Structure formats: C-alpha cells, structure tokens
Structure 1
Amino acid sequence: MWSSPSRHRTRFPAENSRVRGGARFERGQFAERPTAHAADRDGLSCRVRGLAGARRGRRLRTAGRAARTRRLRLGLLVTSNRIRPPAVLGKMATTVDVISGGRLIMGLGVGGTVQAPDAGGIAGENPAVAEYAAYGLTLVPPAEGIARLEEIITILHGMWTRDVFDFHGRYYTLTSNRNEPKPVQQPGPPLLIGGWGNRTLRLVAEHADIWNIPGPPHNTLDYITERSAVLDDHCATIGRDPRTITRSVQYIVSYDDPATDRKTIGELIAAGVTHIVLSLRSPYPPQAARWLADQIITPVRSATGE
C-alpha cells in the first residue's frame, strides 16, 4: 500500500505493509538469513538489501529470500546500472518478481561515476574507484552515467511489457528481445531511483515511483528538503503531480542512542518523507527485527500518529 497516490498501476497489497496513513518503515542491511524470516513473521513491511556497487551475488541472494518469505517486499538499494547488461538485469529482476509473487521493488542508480573527493556526503576518496577497479570496471562521467540509466529504464519497461522488443540507443542495442514470463506486477515492478543531483532528479520526475536519498548523517534534513523541492520543480515542468512520487530516505540506526534516532526519523516524516529504510550495521543486536520494532518503529508511530 502506498502512503501517497502513484501513477504506477501496482500498489503494495495491504498484507505486505504495516502502514497507518503516512510513513512506511522498512529495514535493510541485514546479513543473517534468520532475520529475514523474523521480519517476515513479525510484520515488518520490507527487506531492501544492499547498496550500490559491484557485489554480483546480491540478486541471487534476493531471489533466495523471495522463495523463503511470503510478505516482505524485496530489492536492492540500489542496483548500479553499470555492472550488468540491461536485458540481463531485466531478466534477473523478472525472475525475482515471479518467484516472490510480485514483491520486487526495482532499485536503480547511476552507478560508479567520476566524482571529486568528499562528494555526496561521503568523506574521502570516491569509494567506487577501488571497487570498480577490483572488478575490472571503469568509471564514467556523470552525464554518461545518467544517459545510460535513462536507456536502461526504457529497456526494462519495454522487455517487461512487450512480447518482442527492439532497442537502439547510444549505449545499448537489443534485437528481438523476448522476456517470458513477464513480471507479476504490471506494467512492471515499482521503480525506485536513488540519487540527488539535478539531472538524476529529472529522471526521477519522469520515470520513478519512489525517490531515495541517503539521510543523516550523510545528508542533512535541510539538504533533503531542498532536493525534494527541486524534484517538485521538475514535476511541475513536465506536468506530473509530485505527490505521486514516494519520498524515501535511508537512515542508519544507532544502537547506542535510539532516542536520537526516533527524533530524527520524526523530523524526516514531518518534512514529507513517507518511506523510511532503517539500515543496521553489524554486529547486530539480538533479535534485530524485534529490536527495531520495539525501539524505533512502534515509538515513532505512537509519537507521530502514523
């Protein structure tokens, strides 16, 4: 169930989310298999696993979790558009959506691009430099990364909805693509785009169902609010209702100070964020899913009336 209207024809079924009116909470960044089962059993709304980068096994693990759970929505936060050929990525995503019975969120990002040190709220050298070098991949200028992402979005929608699909772009070419079976969700899984640059936000306005940006400490509340306003402007330019885009923030939880976490999350909700991805770092507390529900989700819902 979406917390705001969406142009996408897919809606989260009521049994797949625990939402009261406004913010939807999801949790990500768990490694232990039992935790997915616990979250599935205890009613947390989703499992969004993974960050951008060249970790090739995550789609396979996501498919495995899809087969072992029944209610959680699944996806990567986010898939780099540079690592796999677009049609291969589209087929992998289709497989996860079919195995899960229609529970995939398709998270996409520009991927590794040439960036100056300390860019994007990440201190020091661009971490993509070492990661992409380790996998024999090259970084590209941001403009090329965004252009490739736009082509991939077109390819995904085409192969998810058409019986036979041809595509001839600047960077990718497909001839007589056949993708069967189609995703359970039609016209395809909800599209989440992560990023905060002006050109990326234009793509969000044109194509996305969900926009995700890293929250504090990487980006301040004021910056997130300013970027959200830029997205609103892009929507106005193309004639799209900005309320049809879910505003999503990934927030890294502190085990030592849950009161501050609750305060910050409440401020994000007050600023219009309706999709909170709670990210945990290892080592995890015992019964991590239950700890999240008891220490963060339930108190925030009570305080905000969500």
Structure 2
Amino acid sequence: MQVGYHDILRVWTEADAVPEIEHAWLFDHLMPIGGDPGGPAHEGWTLLSALAARTRRLRLGVLVTSNRFRPPAVLARIAATVDSVAEGRLDFGIGAGSRPGHPLARREYEAHGLPYHGFTRSVSALDEACTVIRRLWAEDEPFDFEGEHIRLAGAFCNPKPVQRPGPPVVIGGRSSALLRVAARHADVWNVPGGDIEDVAARSALLDRHCAEIGRDPATLTRSIHLPVSYERPESTRKAVGEAVDAGFTHVVLGLPAPFPEGVARWVADELVSRAPAPSALS
C-alpha cells in the first residue's frame, strides 16, 4: 500500500540478486490499512503473479491471504497458476481475515460488497478451506465436498501446482482457535512481532495443540514479521535477536514505503549480516 508497482518491482528484482534474502512477500488488503485511506493498494495475487514472472530465485507469497475474499476453490486455482508462473517458488499464505475491531480493515468488506462474519465462523471456514485447497492440489479425480461453509460438486484443479503435492502452507494469526487450525494444516506459522513474551507464549500454545493431535511441533516452522526502522537499524537487529532466541527460525522484515534506493542490499548488510542468523530472512 501507498507505493507504486515500479517501486515494488525495483525492490523485488534487487532482492532477487541478494542471496541473503530468501523470500519476498506481499499482503492481502483491498484498501490501505495505514497512511492515506484513499491511497493505492494493489490486489495481492495479481501483483504476486506479475512479480513471479520478473524474478527467478526468491520464494514468494502473500502474507497472508484473507480467506474471506475469495472462494477457496478459486483461490486454489489462483495459487496453482502463480506456482506455475514462479516455476515452483510459491509459499501459500492464508489466514482467517481481519477482525472486526480494525475499522480500516473492516471498511474494505463494505466497499467491495463482501460479507463479514464473526471471527469464530471465519476460523472454522479457514479450517475447511485448507482441507479443500490441499485436496484440489493433490487429487487427480473430481470430488464433491459438503461442509458447514463450503459445498463443491465435481471440484478439480488442473493444472496442478508445480510443487507436489502442493506449495508449503503458511498460516498467519495468533488466536487459540486459529493456532489449532495451524497445528492441523500449516507447514509454517507466522505471527506479527511486538511483545516477544506474548509471541513466545503463542508459540508454546501451538506446541500444545500439535501434541494434542500427535504432531511433532518441530515439524512446524515458526515465522515472525518484524517492522524495519531505516533510522534505527539497531532496534530491528535487537528484535531479530529476541525472535531467534524465542525459537523463530524464519524472520520476515517489513519495509516501510517509500523504499530507499538499494534497500535490499542495505537489509542484507545492516540487518541480515549483523543479526543472529536464523534459517531464513525475508
């Protein structure tokens, strides 16, 4: 949001040539949720497909897709298309959608004629969506699905994603109910940073949810989104160190617009190389 396509393309193509940066991400809002409420906000999956065609190395995704915006079977096909364009570099991010307490996020539903249900219902719908999407990617024969929120007849997805049985699934959020969904479906769990003690407690709760269903918590990568300060990089490095110490092995560094010239190289030199080294920085 609040940035043009060519500025985003500049940063992504630069990052594609910086090996210290492993992933690149967009977000999924239809209107700005910060800054000028009338400013630009690109549709995430359309933009992701364009950037996939202009990059060669970076893994890429939307952090995270709102399950409220698109029917899950349509989203499965969109993701399969982007994975094809990216030649198997998609990480599939998805979440329940914004809570009603965020007025700038809430207005995008009303402005686009989208229904807005309570958070309990949206988490339940996310659980079904993850089941349906994985089946569409993996199964070769059409199938029917009759759920509480999703009903499909003769559903299939062709072409399949390049990655089989499908791209890694990244589920974002922090509520206990959503963490149960992550324990069942996610390869990666992402949470916004901030209070590191609270984030660590959420990670411990995710461990317990995994144990309840017999899943090894170590099979679920912990990912955290941290804002970048251009003026005070030491504060960002400190936050990265705290996250690594708390067990987060994938760190997503959020760059505020406007993007300085050479910002991807600056991130590698000032943040990645001078911070404790997790397994991936984005």
| TM-score normalised by L of structure 1 | 0.82
Residue of 1, 10, 33 corresponding to 1:34: 10
1:170-215 CA-to-partner distances (Å, cap 9, x unmatched) read: 1211111221111111111100000110100001111100001100
Q: CA offset at residue 58 of structure 1?
A: 1.7
- What is the CA RMSD across the aligned residues, in angstroms? 2.1
Q: CA offset at residue 227 of structure 1?
A: 0.5
- Give the direction of change, closer, same or farther, for the CA distance of 1:175–1:59 in structure 2 (3 Å limit): same
Q: CA offset at residue 135 of structure 1?
A: 1.3
CA distance in structure 2 between the aligned counterparts of 1:242 and 1:194, rounded to whole angstroms: 16
Matched with 2:107 is 130
Aligned length: 265
1:193 is the counterpart of 2:171: yes
CA distance in structure 2 between the aligned counterparts of 1:302 and 1:144, rounded to whole angstroms: 39
CA distance in structure 2 between the aligned counterparts of 1:30 and 1:50, rounded to whole angstroms: 17
DSSP 3-state at the match of 1:182: coil
Residue of 57, 61, 77 corresponding to 2:43: 57
Q: Pairwise mapping of residues 200-215 of structure 1 onto structure 2 (< 5 A)?
A: 200-215=178-193
DSSP 3-state at the match of 2:274: helix
Q: CA offset at residue 221 of structure 1?
A: 0.4
Q: CA offset at residue 291 of structure 1?
A: 0.9
1:50-101 CA-to-partner distances (Å, cap 9, x unmatched) read: 1455667221111111111111111101100011111111100000111111
Paired AA for residue 225 in structure 2: Q
- Give the direction of change, closer, same or farther, for the CA distance of 1:302–1:271 in structure 2 (3 Å limit): closer
CA distance in structure 2 between the aligned counterparts of 1:199 and 1:53, rounded to whole angstroms: 25
1:83-125 CA-to-partner distances (Å, cap 9, x unmatched) read: 111111110000011111111111001013434xxxxxxxxx5
DSSP 3-state at the match of 2:248: coil
CA distance in structure 2 between the aligned counterparts of 1:134 and 1:97, rounded to whole angstroms: 30
DSSP 3-state at the match of 1:150: helix
Matched with 1:252 is 227
CA distance in structure 1 between the aligned counterparts of 2:231 and 2:190, rounded to whole angstroms: 25
1:181 is the counterpart of 2:167: no
1:300 is the counterpart of 2:275: yes
The answer to whether the 8 A contact 2:249-2:278 is kept is: no
| TM-score normalised by L of structure 2 | 0.89
- Give the direction of change, closer, same or farther, for the CA distance of 1:51–1:131 in structure 2 (3 Å limit): same
Matched with 2:38 is none
The answer to whether the 8 A contact 2:207-2:217 is kept is: yes
CA distance in structure 1 between the aligned counterparts of 2:242 and 2:6, rounded to whole angstroms: 25
Residue of 204, 215, 218 corresponding to 1:240: 215
Matched with 1:151 is 128
Percent identical across equivalent pairs? Answer: 42
The answer to whether the 8 A contact 1:86-1:156 is kept is: yes
Q: CA offset at residue 262 of structure 1?
A: 0.6
1:74 is the counterpart of 2:60: yes
Q: Which runs of 4+ in 1 moved over 3 A?
A: 51-56, 112-115, 301-304
CA distance in structure 2 between the aligned counterparts of 1:226 and 1:30, rounded to whole angstroms: 40
Q: CA offset at residue 138 of structure 1?
A: 2.7
The answer to whether the 8 A contact 1:253-1:278 is kept is: yes
The answer to whether the 8 A contact 1:52-1:109 is kept is: no
Residue of 239, 254, 259 corresponding to 1:264: 239
Q: CA offset at residue 301 of structure 1?
A: 4.1
Q: Which has the higher contact order (CA 8 A, sep 6+)?
A: 1
Q: CA offset at residue 303 of structure 1?
A: 11
Give ranges in structure 2 of 5+ residues lacking alignment.
32-40
Q: CA offset at residue 270 of structure 1?
A: 0.8
CA distance in structure 1 between the aligned counterparts of 2:115 and 2:138, rounded to whole angstroms: 31
